[in-house]
Amino acid sequence: MHHRTLATAAGAAVATAALLGSATAASATDDPEIHVGIMALLVAPSEDFLMKMLLVDDVVVGDGPELTAADVLPESDDVCGDLEVDIDLVASTVTVTGAGDECEVMIAAMSVFFYNGPVLEDVSLVSDGLFGESDLFAGVESYDFGFDAAWMNPALFEAETFEELPPGGILGGSSVFALTFGEDLIEDLFEEIPDVEDDPSVGEFLEDAAAEETVVEAEAEAAAPVAATPTFTG
């Protein structure tokens, strides 16, 4: 199993964060509306690492989930299952729910980006039921304006071939995260948000990510078994 494949998926989240970061933020004190961006990822237990990505950009946190199955990106692979993300600012929680009829998933990941409001000081897992009784939670990492969370079988990194892939998990439950906010405001952290089109660092990152993806595809092709072509003699 190549670590580069997971790094490429994580890189997509970082690139998306950079793009979402171009949104204009409003003061949480003057404007009660909190704007967020959310990205979710599902990877099927397949040799081709088929992925489904869901994305919302600059939505207002309110009643009901901010990310649903309707937010799947059209270029996503045909992967079963969906993720739903609901942010509750009153309870300071984020709930992610998986849906799918006996749908097995090898990797699930979620990133939440706050455009405005108080900075995020900490995120902790309150309950983990995204994959039912299966303990696939890999961890959560928070930063001032958001957090990332992931689920996968830890034995995934030890697999060298598709046949050695460990079992995934069946979607169908929910996991809840508790958010701890600080007193500073996110919009005060960035006096001027640069235009990503004019930021050379973003372009360099996207070029590196594309090059990494090319390497992964080349390695996958090289590792794929070659089917013998039958010959017939009369």
User: What is the per-residue pLDDT across 104-126, written as a single tens digit (0 to 9) for each?
Assistant: 998 999 999 999 999 999 999 99
Maximum distance among all alpha carbons in the chain?
Answer: 85
pLDDT at position 211 is 75
User: What is the per-residue pLDDT across 31-72, written as a single tens digit (0 to 9) for each?
Assistant: 479 999 999 999 988 777 799 999 999 999 999 999 999 999
Domain spans of the chain? Answer: 3-223
Structure tokens at 130: 């995204």
CA–CA separation, 96 vs 176, rounded Å? 7
CA angle 78, 205, 87 (to 5 degrees): 55
For residues 63 and 89, the answer to whether their CB atoms sit within 8 Å is: no
Residue with tokens 């990503």: 196
Q: H/E element holding 166?
A: none
CA–CA separation, 217 vs 176, rounded Å? 35
CA–CA separation, 16 vs 3, rounded Å? 20
pLDDT at position 63 is 94
Relative to beta strand 51-60, strand 35-43 is antiparallel
**What pTM did the predictor assign?**
0.69
Instruction: For the chain, give percent helix, strand, coil, nearest 5.
Output: 25, 35, 40
Under-70 pLDDT residues of the chain: 1-31, 157, 159-165, 191-203, 205, 215-234
